[in-house]
Structure 1
Amino acid sequence: MNKLRALFAANKKLGSFRAEGNTIYLYDMIVDDEMEAEWFGGITPAGFISQLKAMNGDVAIRINSPGGSVFGAVAICQAMREYKGNITVHVDGYAASAASVIAVAAPKVVMAPGSFMMIHNCWTFAIGNANDLISMAGVLEKIDGSIADAYAAKSGKEAAEFRDLMAAETWFTAGESVAMGIADAIAEDKPKAAAQWDMSAYAAAPKLPDPSASDSDVQDEDTVSRRVRQHTARMLERAA
């Protein structure tokens, strides 16, 4: 099964999307349209844009998402750029894959302690002859380039640096996200997002801390960071 479809199937209708006051909760997968949302659940660009247009003033977008459609994410990002007020993204759990693209579109990104942001090369499913598949590979290269440009624009770093990190499927802890420039601050509060996504479609997904666990039960960020770096190094060695 295509990895994106596997992600959708594993997390079918586990999430939620809602707005309270001037806060939008993106606690679900990102999907393209209402047909996908009806089958898998998830957040559509149309649903997000409708909620955002109903708001005035500063807006908070809270994210705990395993990712999903990059084109859905791009449409959401454009709506965020066109919004007249200030937008702050709070990563409460995972901002993985397409959700990380949404996160870095905001002028300010705040990571919860224990949260993660993940970047990787995009996925798709293609059927056809050799020419069709070669053509699709070219499209994927262009999409990856545009995603890397988005991370570079947020961080001030070179897009090529992010292309290498995307190829390795890189999971950034809260502290690493700030150090890389794809986030701006770490929240003082502990993570509140309790949804435990099925992340088996990804190669190296770390688990979020359990909000109900005591401090002694939660791995410190240095330990998690070290394990993520070790896995990334192994992935790069295999690709070399």
Structure 2
Amino acid sequence: MQTRESRPMPKSNYFQLLFENLKTKDRQFTVVNDVETGEAEIFLYDAIASNKEEAEWWGGVDPETFVKAVRGIDAQNIHLRINSPGGSVFAARTMEQALREHKATVTVHIDGLAASAASFLAMAGDEIIMSDGAMMMIHKAWTVSWGNADDLLAEATLLEKLDGTLAKTYAKRAGGDESTFADYMRNETWFTAEEAVSAGLADTIYDAEPVPKKEDSAHNAVHPNWHCHAFLKAVNRPEIQTYVSDEHRDRQIQRLNVLTCCALAVN
């Protein structure tokens, strides 16, 4: 019987992201609903998985669980707290829609990292607040595909459509031009809190004044330290995500090219 560690990992950046974070500590998905105050907090401190089976095997939050939790909230205000490396596009879209349809006012707090799919999930907020030192990353959609030339061309067409919808979401929230955000995605852009606010992807930076400690407060929560090697420009550091050297990135690209050539060689 295979364990999680021994199961072969599909040749996909998405599954690489899930695989690398299997043993990440302090990951959590929690909903704290205070009926008396009409305030609810959702802690999305995890990756975003495609479905329940995938979440059970690789870890992460699946859309079914997330949507059910959101629909069970009876509150005037929802505070979604994000520290996530992202994950499945369609799962995040499903989660995003659940937040948009809820009657509550949604405030998104990016406590640590909102990368990849987690970045456009954040766009569902009526207000987006980033902590000082938090980061947001947007990039073009990924997939893994097998088949003949027609199959691969069809997959590329689908990816282009996905990228178009994502650029539209960012531009609509930021009030900018879709082509601008398409360029950001193409270059796998990592935004600091200040840069995200400047680009219109966030509204404000959290004013780090001392706050009273209380149970279940995000200010007392332990943040997971995500591994983001699946992203070509990221290195894993607890306090910040930065760019790797050109030499390291070239080696990563060469590895990905080899994997792609191997996939295309299969009949």
How would you bin the TM-score normalised by the shorter chain?
0.7 to 0.9
Question: What are the equivalent positions in structure 2 for 1:1-240 lying under 5 Å apart?
Answer: 1-12=11-22, 14=24, 15-21=27-33, 22-55=40-73, 56-189=75-208, 194-205=223-234, 210=239
Aligned counterparts of 1:209 and 1:174: Cα–Cα separation in 2: 16
Residue in 2 aligned with 1:215?
none
Aligned counterparts of 1:193 and 1:154: Cα–Cα separation in 2: 29
Aligned counterparts of 1:193 and 1:159: Cα–Cα separation in 2: 36
Shift of residue 194 of structure 1?
Answer: 2.6
Shift of residue 189 of structure 1?
Answer: 2.6
Aligned counterparts of 1:206 and 1:188: Cα–Cα separation in 2: 27
Aligned counterparts of 2:50 and 2:109: Cα–Cα separation in 1: 23
Aligned counterparts of 1:148 and 1:160: Cα–Cα separation in 2: 7
Residues 67 and 95 in structure 1, CA contact (< 8 A), matched pair in contact too: yes
Aligned counterparts of 2:222 and 2:186: Cα–Cα separation in 1: 28
Choose between structure 1 and 2: higher helix proportion: 1
Q: Secondary structure at the match of 1:38?
A: helix
Shift of residue 160 of structure 1?
Answer: 0.4
Shift of residue 45 of structure 1?
Answer: 1.1
Deviations 1:128-153 (A, max 9, x none): 10000000000000000000000001
* Identical residues among aligned pairs (%): 41
Q: Secondary structure at the match of 2:114?
A: strand
AA aligned opposite 1:198: H
Residues 108 and 184 in structure 1, CA contact (< 8 A), matched pair in contact too: yes
Shift of residue 205 of structure 1?
Answer: 2.1
Shift of residue 61 of structure 1?
Answer: 0.3
Runs ≥4 residues deviating over 4 A: 190-193, 206-210
Residue in 2 aligned with 1:213?
none
Q: Secondary structure at the match of 1:8?
A: helix
Measured on the aligned residues, the alpha-carbon RMSD in Å equals 2.4
Aligned counterparts of 2:235 and 2:176: Cα–Cα separation in 1: 25
AA aligned opposite 2:30: R
Residues 114 and 209 in structure 1, CA contact (< 8 A), matched pair in contact too: no
Aligned counterparts of 2:57 and 2:144: Cα–Cα separation in 1: 18
Shift of residue 50 of structure 1?
Answer: 1.2
Deviations 1:175-233 (A, max 9, x none): 000000010000023986531111111112265654xxxxxxxx8xxxx8xx76x98xx
Shift of residue 13 of structure 1?
Answer: 5.4
For structure 2, list consecutive stretches of 5 or more residues without a partner in the other structure: 1-10, 34-39, 210-218, 254-267
Task: Report the TM-score, using the length of structure 2 for normalisation.
Answer: 0.77
Give aligned pairs, total: 220
